[in-house]
């Protein structure tokens, strides 16, 4: 049975000209941030036939490691703004949960892979103690929802900026290119799902 794909994006701006819509898969837009991502994906999955479904997060991200314009496959997910170190937990670890990160992202052969650090802030400078491969505002929440529902999860991120002092301006200029590059990456990924 062929896979059913549910494309999940934060913003319609990441799908300029509805380029990804032309592929014929369902798309939901969650809005920005972990709470919006969780709310909208849970709503979309509740009552849906989950057999043979793959959730695919497509979107923009910053990076301290990868160049702008690259599409990276995120396979591990960290909650970068979770800080319960005062209680003895590792930075990024949700209190009383065993693992400090999620590792349920599908890997696509031949596509660069990295860890994604999700938080509810737009990053414009380096973190004092963490090295951020990819930085976004939704993927950790989406990965956690997919793990809960038992649905395979793929995250493909278009790098728009260096998560530095120029990040806000770079994002505005670069996000319009995201749809074309993400469409190409998705077409490359589909045969491996």
Backbone angles phi, psi at 107, to 5 degrees: -100, 140
Name residue 119's beta-bridge partners: none
Reading the block at residue 181, the tokens are: 């590059």
Return the ∠ at Cα 145 (arms to 45 and 53), rounded to 5°. 45
What pLDDT, in 10s, does the model give residues 54-112? 999 999 998 888 988 899 999 999 999 999 999 999 888 899 998 889 999 999 999 99
What average pLDDT score do residues 154-169 get? 72
d(CA 155, CA 30): 15
Q: Which residue has the tokens 């596509």?
A: 111
For 21, other C-beta atoms within 10 Å of its C-beta total: 15
Write down the pLDDT at residue 161. Answer: 66
Is it the case that residue 38 has pLDDT exceeding 60? yes
What burial letters (b/e) apply to 28-66, b meaning 16+ CB within 10 Å?
A: eebeebbebbbebbeebbeeeebeebbbbbbbbbbbbbb
- Taking only the tens place, the pLDDT of each residue in 90-103 is 888 899 998 889 99
Outline where the chain has alpha helix (H): 34-45, 139-149, 167-189
- Rounded average pLDDT over 15-34: 94
In order of their start, the domains of the chain are 4-192 (3.40.50.1580)
Name the pLDDT band for 139 (thresholds 50, 70, 90). very high
Q: Report the chain's mean pLDDT, rounded to a whole number.
A: 90
């Amino acid at each position: 049975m062929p896979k059913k794909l549910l494309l999940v994006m934060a913003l319609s701006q990441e799908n300029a000209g509805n380029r990804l819509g032309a592929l014929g898969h369902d798309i939901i837009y969650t809005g920005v941030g972990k709470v919006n991502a969780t709310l909208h994906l849970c709503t979309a999955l509740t009552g849906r036939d989950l057999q043979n479904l793959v959730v695919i997060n497509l979107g923009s991200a910053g990076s301290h490691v990868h160049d702008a314009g690259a599409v990276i496959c995120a396979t591990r997910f960290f909650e970068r703004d979770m800080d319960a170190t005062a209680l003895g937990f590792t930075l990024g670890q949700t209190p009383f949960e065993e693992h400090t990160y999620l590792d349920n992202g599908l890997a696509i052969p031949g596509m660069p892979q990295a860890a994604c650090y999700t938080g509810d802030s737009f990053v414009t400078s380096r973190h004092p103690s963490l090295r951020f491969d990819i930085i976004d505002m939704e993927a950790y929440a989406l990965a956690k929802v997919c793990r809960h529902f038992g649905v395979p999860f793929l995250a493909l991120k278009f790098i728009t900026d260096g998560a530095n002092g120029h990040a806000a301006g770079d994002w505005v200029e670069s996000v319009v290119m995201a749809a074309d590059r993400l469409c190409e990456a998705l077409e490359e990924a589909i045969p491996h799902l």
